[in-house]
């Protein structure tokens, strides 16, 4: 099939969400025609809209018709209701969308995956794109299954898989806000030594990486997308406290005590503020190696300290912190 012309639209899924909505606006502002796949929420800023559902392959074929590229941001987010739901949307829905894009003659398919597809080994250190994957959640397993299916394709369509860690920035309402609420007091009890490395990704860095993958013909395959440098857990909580105008005060929280506390919270509360799984994620020395993205010439628009200040200021202005 002939490729659609360069003036053809880019199909973006998840445009009604926080990340996908910013992608739609960024691509529009960069001069691209954008067609948004609309499922539940409407999408602002798109020049075209196509009604569709990742569980309905026929609707995806209609949505992809005439598009020159696809940016796939839509997902059932963690925590998902069940393994089956995660697989149906994040894995099988992604495969169906890639099938539709290839049938439409799309040149590029950019899939926003997740660090959860790798898992969090406690002593992994800096993790490269070719590291073994051992996802530990239904969400992570569904993302990894989608990655494997996309990497196995041998068609002409260029497929780029971007793996971000926790994404933060103004408007975020999930993992980073949950960390910022206790850390902004300056009295966050950091479990263990707090010197374990982790990665975060400011929303603007992720959006620029998506544009980079579309416009700069980045190689096929997996790319890790995170802030330019990893940070330790203690550096993270201290940065949040300073952004909130607090002086960080170290509080001892030895790991044996943290584990007992997490178990007690799990036994007593339906939504514990600290679970054993969350404790493992917080204390694992597991950060994303972004050297491959750096070698390709990518430049990060936002640094970590600047991004934290902006994010905390927005949380306070919006009354959620």
Q: Where are the domains of the chain?
A: 10-173+199-230+287-305
| Ramachandran class of 294: left when φ > 0, alpha when ψ lies in -120 to 50, beta otherwise | alpha
**11 within 8 A of 63, measured Cβ to Cβ:** yes
Q: Which whole number is the average pLDDT over 170-176? A: 95
Residue 33 and residue 270: Cα distance in Å, rounded?
45
- pTM, entire model: 0.95
Give strand pairing partners of 288.
Answer: 127
The helix-helix angle for 57-64 and 93-103 (nearest 10°) equals 40
Q: Compute CA distances 241 → 254, 274, 314, whole Å.
A: 21, 19, 14
**131 within 8 A of 118, measured Cβ to Cβ:** yes
The model's pLDDT over 195-221, given as tens digits with 9 standing for 90+, comes to 999 999 999 999 999 999 998 877 889
Residue 125 and residue 191: Cα distance in Å, rounded?
18
- Helix, coil or strand: residue 111: strand
The model's pLDDT over 42-99, given as tens digits with 9 standing for 90+, comes to 888 899 999 999 999 999 999 999 999 999 999 998 878 789 999 999 999 999 999 9
| Ramachandran class of 230: left when φ > 0, alpha when ψ lies in -120 to 50, beta otherwise | beta
* Residues in Cβ contact with 231 at an 8 Å cutoff, skipping those fewer than 6 apart: 197, 198, 199, 200, 239, 304
Q: Is the pLDDT of residue 236 over 90?
A: yes
Q: Which whole number is the average pLDDT over 111-129? A: 94
Q: Which two tokens stand for residue 148?
A: 């494997």
**100 within 8 A of 37, measured Cβ to Cβ:** no
Residue 117 and residue 142: Cα distance in Å, rounded?
8
**235 within 8 A of 316, measured Cβ to Cβ:** no
Question: What is the gyration radius of the CA atoms in the chain, in angstroms?
Answer: 20
Residue range 10-173+199-230+287-305, CATH number: 3.40.50.720
Q: Which whole number is the average pLDDT over 112-119? A: 97
User: What is the reported pLDDT for 1?
Assistant: 59
The model's pLDDT over 248-297, given as tens digits with 9 standing for 90+, comes to 998 999 999 999 999 999 999 988 989 998 899 999 999 999 999 999 99
């Amino acid at each position: 099939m002939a490729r659609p012309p360069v003036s053809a639209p880019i199909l973006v899924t998840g445009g009604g969400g926080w990340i996908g909505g910013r992608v739609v606006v960024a691509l529009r502002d960069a001069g691209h025609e954008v067609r948004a796949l609309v499922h539940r929420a409407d999408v602002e800023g798109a020049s075209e809209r196509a009604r569709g559902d990742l569980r309905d392959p026929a609707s995806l074929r209609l949505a992809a018709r005439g598009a020159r590229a696809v940016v796939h941001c839509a997902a059932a987010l963690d925590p998902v209701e069940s393994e089956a739901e995660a697989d149906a949307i994040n894995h099988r829905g992604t495969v169906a969308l890639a099938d539709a894009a290839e049938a439409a003659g799309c040149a590029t398919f950019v899939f926003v995956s997740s660090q959860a597809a790798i898992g969090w080994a406690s002593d992994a250190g800096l993790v490269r794109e070719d590291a073994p994957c051992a996802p530990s959640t239904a969400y992570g397993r569904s993302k990894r299954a989608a990655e494997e299916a996309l990497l196995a394709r041998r068609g002409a369509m260029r497929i780029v898989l971007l793996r971000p860690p926790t994404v933060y920035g103004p408007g975020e309402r999930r993992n980073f806000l949950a960390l910022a609420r206790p850390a902004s007091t300056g009295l966050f009890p950091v479990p263990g030594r707090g010197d374990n490395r982790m990665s975060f990704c400011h929303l603007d860095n992720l959006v620029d990486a998506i544009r980079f993958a579309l416009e700069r013909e980045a190689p096929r395959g997996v790319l890790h997308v995170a802030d330019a440098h990893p940070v330790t857990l203690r550096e993270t909580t201290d940065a949040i406290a300073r952004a909130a105008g607090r002086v960080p005060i170290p509080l001892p929280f030895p790991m044996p005590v943290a584990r007992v506390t997490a178990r007690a919270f799990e036994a007593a509360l339906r939504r514990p503020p600290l679970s054993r799984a969350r404790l493992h994620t917080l204390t694992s020395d597991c950060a994303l190696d972004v050297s491959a993205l750096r070698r390709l010439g990518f430049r990060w628009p936002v640094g970590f300290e600047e991004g934290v200040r902006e994010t905390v200021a927005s949380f306070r202005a919006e009354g959620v912190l």
